[in-house]
Structure 1
């Protein structure tokens, strides 16, 4: 596809992160100053060299947030997005940024229809603004908005004008995710003859990474990205995907890859945008194996069904159980929980696991251990058991109280929260003390029957250190189902850790 312009491993390519600006423009995302600062710190720790902190022209609140990022004294260059207006440059300077991304219209649709100007006037305005920003001591990148739909002769003239006026670099922008790799390669090839060029791609056609790589092959040495690909419409090209593609396929290192998963989790948590399970690099299923053939192969050779080790991007491999799990997968899961079973018992457990999967159920750790106990005749003593639960939500503050049996000792505790489930969970944690500090990694609720007496299934995954346990419970009462599932998960964690919870300090 890239012809003679292959991406050589001696190329220097950098990533620019615009999660805090373009990513935040996605519907429903609004980051607080503290959240932007936290993300910026993690980007800096990962070695991202340029961080676009926002658009200073948005308003006073956004300017305070950008200033918060610039005050962090990061190693990364901190920048602001600016329209083709002098006042935008002034506002960016007031925020203390190191540089700006000056966006100017490139396609006739934007030149004439959006700003009501002419090609000649846009070139003149661009030269004036670049000179003005450089006089303020700013690093300047000029972005030709909607460049993928621009007349390439004019785009080349516009970007040449920007560089002649003193811009540090120019950017080819596929603003609406319109184009493909051939057009991207052609445009960037022409711009790279003028000076340093960047690429800004979107994923509306699912070609974000492909177009970014095409731009790099054509001479671009900086790619605009967002963590997890958050952004307007279908999102921007994902930073983690570009980073791993460049490293794994082309031997080009851009950031500290082992920080990618923690960074993805942080952005998912702060933006409220969950990671799709099948998301490349950082999705839950990226290093999870259920198929018996795949599990068996992975146990024999970790590279059998993975392109690179999960540790490369800060992940861990996971063997999941379901109807496709074979004996090797069941044996590995039992070993993980220190459950002894003969070959015949493993076969029977595997058959029972398959039966559960055939009924459309996800087979949790608790399911596996319950089946194993039944097949092997094991009798497990519980460490934590729920004896009683009461919860109220009619007043201004939802409250709950629990009575637990903890290693033969009865404990009673109460808690408050944003709802009855939250209050009950707080009560359980209070009763268990430090042993209740396991992280609630996931919480899912599904109605399994209809009507006013609907039964719900609550599935929780709780983890501590490098261990996690999933438990599903079905009840007519969602609060009770949630608490029982959580207590059972904590009990399983404590069992594997061989720990008896100490009495909580008053």
Structure 2
């Protein structure tokens, strides 16, 4: 059975600009344990007092996963780790001549002696030891093999081969890994040249039994091997049961993205926004007949949902499906006109939102959209040493409501008071907020797209203005009006 050591909280946190609080680390560690990770590398105990606190919190949490910490071949590092109550140490020693001479200023014999002493001392402290060769892909393999073999004799429980700067190829991986498997071996890859996943899978196929991974592929430079990609490649391509609770992959991914403030690449496999999003008419038409036509795996498998977006590539089948989901029943003539107008919007380089589709459908089908919300006025107060505050007066179903709210910024304050003001007719949550600049310069037009949720019904809406607050308010109010329309409203027509 392959195992997973997740180093999101150590190597992943070394992503420039990322800094997690002890409480955030504990929440992520709990999610990692719940999803089925075997070992959690919780951090580096000697890094700071905050890091020690986080490691203690995780080690004392009673998680099913083994709690591990990174240590150098130094007794004080090992003491710090043991004092935090961890189960194991990831004991890293440089093994390439480049690292040995340039970084440490030592020779091979000195590093060998340091490694043997550290392994023996860590075992004396009652720790499980994973002896790891840093920059192993540039090391002399005979030297590395001897160090690993003797490390096991000194008490190391596991070994780890580190491709520290991502220079392995799958062919080289297949050649090297069998030569260093003197104990259960982990593979630790970096993605500098985009081969981390391929090298990790090759190593597992060549004798390694554990993959070092990070959620979303976080890590220094181009990151580490992405956890979600290894799991789904093993499951889907090799029919291997990883034991991971796959339906929790996307919630875990978004949790890590939120706390690290590292957004997911739009086209990232498995967890990116476009991984299960389709626009092309041919693709969408095929998906409606059989989802496997244009999807390698079901989005529900990883805790996601499929999404069909409309634009200039959309065909009548996907537009009709979207309209039906929004409650519209156009006849064939109306459908053709709606498709034509949607393509026109897409041709202008503008993303087509649900609110756009509904507005087009209303116009073509001669349906009246009676606004539930009518904005009378809104005011924003913000500035140096002033808490951003928004006040609004609006009519909601004919009832005039005035209120105010503060926020982290002027846009946040405005959106908060809008949500509070419509609570009398429905609980509407803002799920996503995205801003694009359409034109350049200080008077740039901004395009704000929002995703709103009311009782599980989700709608996207858009606002475009030169003022970001006005664009945001326009997008939210438009979306809210569409969400709050009567569910019994007749959106079909008998006319041809």
Query: Structure 1 447/249 Cα, relative in aligned 2: closer, same or farther at 3 Å?
Result: closer
Q: Of 287, 290, 311, which residue of structure 1 is paired with 2:276?
A: 287
Question: What residue number does 1:89 align with?
Answer: 78
Task: Tell me the alpha carbon deviations over residues 77-100 of structure 1, each in whole angstroms, 9 at most, x when there is no partner.
Answer: 010000110100000011111100
Give the one of 159, 174, 192 matched to 2:163: 174
Does residue 213 (structure 1) correspond to residue 201 (structure 2)? The answer is yes
Q: Which residue of 2 aligns with 1:228?
A: 216
**TM-score, length of structure 2 as denominator length:** 0.95
Shift of 1:453: 4.2
Q: Give the Å deviation of 1:270.
A: 0.5
Asked if structure 2 preserves the Cα contact closer than 8 Å seen for 1:436 and 1:490, the reply is no
Q: How does 1:17-96 map to 2 (within 5 A)?
A: 17-96=6-85
Q: 1:445 — aligned with what? A: 435
1:416 equivalent among 399, 406, 410? 406
Q: 1:463 aligns with which of 442, 453, 466?
A: 453
1:399 touches 1:414 (CA, 8 Å); kept in 2?
yes
1:282–1:404 distance in 2 versus 1, CA, 3 Å: same
* Cα distance in 1 for residues equivalent to 2:178 and 2:272: 34
Instruction: Supply the distance in 1 between the matched residues of 2:451 and 2:167 (Cα, whole angstroms).
Output: 40
Q: Which runs of 5+ in 2 are unaligned?
A: 490-496
Contact 1:105 1:122 in 2 (8 A): yes
Residue 260 of structure 2: aligned partner: 271
Runs of 5+ consecutive residues of structure 1 not aligned to the other structure: 1-11, 500-506
Using the TM superposition, give the Cα deviation of residue 486 of structure 1 relative to its aligned residue in structure 2, in angstroms.
1.2
Aligned to 1:393: 382
Shift in Å, 1:496: 7.2
Distance, in Å, in 2 between the alignment partners of 1:17 and 1:153 is: 29
The 3-state SS of whatever aligns with 2:17 is coil
Secondary structure, counterpart of 1:54 in structure 2? coil
Contact 2:431 2:453 (8 Å CA) reproduced: yes
Q: Does 1:474 align with 2:451?
A: no
Q: How much has 1:19 moved relative to structure 2? A: 0.2
Q: Hey, what does 1:6 align to over in structure 2?
A: none
The CA deviation at 1:490 is 2.3
In the TM superposition, what whole-angstrom CA distance separates every residue of 1:346-375 from its partner, at most 9, and x where no partner exists? 111111111111111111111100000011
Shift in alpha-carbon separation, 1:438–1:175, aligned structure 2, 3 A: farther
Conserved? CA contact 2:426–2:454, under 8 Å: no
1:310-336 C-alpha deviation (Å, 9 max, x unpaired): 111011010011110100110011011
Q: Quote the residue 1:489 is aligned against.
A: 479
Residues 140-197 of structure 1, C-alpha deviations (whole Å, 9 max, x = no match)? 10110000000111110111111111111101110111111111122211112x1210
CA distance in 1, matches of 2:349, 2:94: 53
Cα pair 2:426 2:484 within 8 Å, conserved: no
Q: For 1:329, which of 318, 329, 336 is the aligned residue?
A: 318
Residues 244-263 of structure 1 mapped to structure 2, 5 A cutoff: 244-254=232-242, 255-263=244-252
- Of residues 374, 390, 395, the one that matches 1:405 is 395
State whether structure 2 residue 22 is matched by structure 1 residue 14: no
Q: Given the alignment, which residue of 347, 352, 361 partners 1:372? A: 361
Partner of 2:100: 111
Q: Distance in 2 between matches of 1:204 and 1:99?
A: 28
Q: Distance in 1 between matches of 2:65 and 2:439?
A: 53
Task: Please name the residue that 1:239 is paired with.
Answer: 227
Which residue is equivalent to 2:294? Answer: 305
Distance 2:273 2:442 in 1: 34
Q: Distance in 1 between matches of 2:396 and 2:167?
A: 60
Larger displacement relative to structure 2 (296-305 or 419-428): 419-428
User: Which digits, 9 at most, give the CA deviation of each residue in 1:412-462, with x for residues without a partner?
Assistant: 110111222111112112212376753323222233345554432222122
Picking from 371, 380, 385, the partner of 1:382 is 371
In 2, Cα distance between the equivalents of 1:268 and 1:429?
25
Partner of 2:493: none
Moved more, 400-409 or 288-297: 400-409
Retained in 1: the 8 A contact 2:372–2:397?
A: yes
| Deviation of the 1:253 alpha carbon | 2.3
Whether the 8 Å contact between 1:126 and 1:161 is mirrored in structure 2 is no
Q: Secondary structure at the match of 1:233?
A: coil
Give the match for residue 423 of structure 2. 433
Aligned partners of 1:256 and 1:448: how far apart in 2? 41
